[in-house]
Amino acid sequence: MTDIIRRTSVNIPAAEIIRYLGYKGDRPDENVMRLIFACSEEINEIADYRACRERVPLAETEEGILLQDVLLPGKAIKRNLDGCRESLAFAATVGPAVDRRIAMLKYREPAKALIMDAAASAAVEAFCDEINDAWEKDALAEGKFLRPRFSPGYGDLPISVQKDLLRLLDAAHLAGITLTDSMMMIPRKSVSAVIGIADECTQREKSGCAACGKRDCTFRRNAAGGSEKTED
């Protein structure tokens, strides 16, 4: 059974917006900071935070990890899910109104559009963090532990996995998330991921930027959680 989660607002960290804007050491000036806070408020006013989640069994095969009928190839996801017999597959979005607002601002206020885009990226990640925290508490109540979420495109997990993952979740119907031929999710500020459910707690797994091999990414976080190119 697929669960549907909705929120009316989330706490969008200003530091994450700054990171997505690509600041390198220097802090934004007062005018930029005012726009950052204004964009955060506006996103929470127009966003339709939705997510769908399904708890599914895992099986290891020669080709990779089988998530029900979805194959997850690659060494990184295999390490992340090692020892797990179940997982949570999910997709989350801030909704289409945010995309429309950013598109409109590109013609009227391009500087604000850039900040709004960064704030929307931070917003969907904050939404994922909030619901993941709630799921982790539920898992602990069962005596289980959640592994870090792992998305298609991280490490050597192909972005093409996105198609089958969204199909498994019926994300188009339940969360309004669709996929273009180039594997871009619509709304653009959307996330899909898999979270392993383990019987034991372990710190071996890496998530997010730490699990990805793209070392030259502008938005990459460092080991301490900040951006490798941005001093938060």
Least confident of 20-24, 91-95, 180-184, 210-214: 210-214
Amino acid letter for position 180: T
Residue 215: pLDDT above 60? no
Residue 205: pLDDT above 80? no
SS (H, E, C) 93-137: ECCHHHHHHHHHHHHHCHHHHHHHHHHHHHHHHHHHHHHHHHHHH
**Would you state the pLDDT for residue 198?**
95
> Domain segments of the chain: what residues?
2-211
| 143-164: average pLDDT | 95
Which pLDDT band, with edges at 50, 70 and 90, does 27 fall under?
A: confident
Residue 14: pLDDT above 60? yes
d(CA 6, CA 96): 14
Please tell me the CATH code under which domain 2-211 is placed: 3.40.109.40
**Would you state the pLDDT for residue 166?**
97
Which candidate, 22, 51, 18, places its Cα nearest to that of 124? 51
